[in-house]
């Protein structure tokens, strides 16, 4: 396979297109974030990469928390809008028709209409360059009861998962295996 070497850039894909809520119940904000990652199982941690000039950046630094809300593909227009206007002069909750809801553990509000809300304390900030990495400790995960599977995990087959890749929005495709399936006799999918 012949390869072309490109100038280094963040070529990793796909990423989830997430709605991160921050601020207060009285003055809530939402920022769309695609550069995120699961980081640690115990303690449960995730990261989001945020440019310091974003209005949301200081909201998160000041409150020391944020909420990662999983958006569905049907909300792609809202995800795109929240990533193209600033909460410094626009009320994104109102413009998207979203309801700011009191979170269980953090001061940042969560988005009622999103099926999964991951509440995080800001554990530490790693200054990188154009983006800083916010490392969040996950302190609560709220899941729409209608999505709960038998094993006390969300049944993500019932969520129309939104994916972001190379500047475009996509829906997650079909399931083609589960963790460890290749080790099972007959590779039962
Ligand atoms: C699909 C998408 C993904 C984005 N991902 C990020 C990201 O990972 N980090 C970031 O700092 N900005 C990201 N942005 C840009 C911010 O969402 C955008 O600048 C937003 O308007 C900032 O809002 P705020 O000023 O209210 O904080 C993304 C935008 C879009 C549309």
pLDDT at 149: 86
Q: Ligand 1: distance of its center to the CA of 141 in Å?
A: 23
Q: Where does ligand 1 bind, in terms of residues with CB under 6 Å?
A: 17, 29, 31-35, 49-51, 54-56, 80, 83-88, 131, 164
Domains and CATH numbers, the chain: 15-144+159-187 (2.30.110.10)
Predicted confidence (pLDDT) per residue in 66-96, tens digit: 999 999 999 999 999 999 999 999 999 999 9
Q: Which residue has the tokens 């969520």?
A: 159
Predicted confidence (pLDDT) per residue in 123-178, tens digit: 999 999 999 999 999 999 999 999 998 888 899 889 999 999 999 999 999 999 99
Atom of ligand 1 nearest to the CA of 164: 1
Residue 14 in this model has a pLDDT that exceeds 60: yes
Phi, psi (5° rounding) for residue 142? -105, 130
| Mean pLDDT score across all residues of the chain | 96
Alpha carbons 57 and 113: distance in angstroms, whole number? 23
Q: Which residue has the tokens 């990469």?
A: 49
Predicted confidence (pLDDT) per residue in 92-137, tens digit: 999 999 999 999 999 999 999 999 999 999 999 999 999 999 999 9
Q: Ligand 1: distance of its center to the CA of 159 in Å?
A: 23
pLDDT at 187: 53
**Global confidence as pTM:** 0.96
Pocket test for ligand 1, best of 14, 28, 34 (most atoms within 8 A of CB): 34
3-class DSSP string for the chain: CCCCCCCCCCCCCCEECEEEEEECCCCEEEEEECCEEEEECCCCEEEEEECCCCHHHHHHHHHCEEEEEECEHHHHHHHHHHCCCCCCCCCHHHHHCCCEECCCCCCCCEECCCCEEEEEEEEEEEECCCCEEEEEEEEEEEECHHHECCCCCECHHHCCEEEEECCEEEECCCCCCCCCHHHCHHHCC
How far is CA 138 from its chain centroid?
12
Contact (CB, 8 A) for 63 and 22: yes
Contact (CB, 8 A) for 49 and 133: yes
């Amino acid at each position: 396979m012949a390869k072309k070497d490109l100038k280094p850039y963040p070529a990793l894909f796909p990423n989830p297109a997430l709605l991160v809520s921050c601020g207060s119940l009285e003055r809530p904000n939402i920022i769309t974030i695609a550069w995120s990652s699961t980081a640690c199982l115990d303690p449960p941690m995730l990261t989001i990469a945020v440019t310091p000039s974003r209005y949301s950046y200081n909201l998160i630094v000041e409150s020391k928390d944020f909420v990662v809300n999983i958006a569905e593909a049907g909300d792609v227009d809202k995800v795109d809008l929240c990533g193209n206007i600033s909460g410094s002069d626009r009320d994104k909750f109102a413009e998207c028709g979203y309801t700011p809801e009191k979170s269980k553990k953090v001061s940042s509000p969560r988005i009622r209409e999103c099926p999964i809300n991951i509440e995080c304390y800001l554990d530490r900030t790693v200054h990188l360059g154009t983006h800083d990495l916010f490392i969040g400790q996950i302190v609560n995960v709220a899941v729409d009861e209608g999505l709960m599977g038998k094993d006390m995990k969300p049944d993500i087959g019932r969520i129309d998962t939104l994916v972001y890749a190379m500047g475009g929005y996509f829906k997650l495709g079909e399931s083609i295996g589960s963790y460890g399936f290749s080790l099972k006799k007959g590779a039962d999918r």
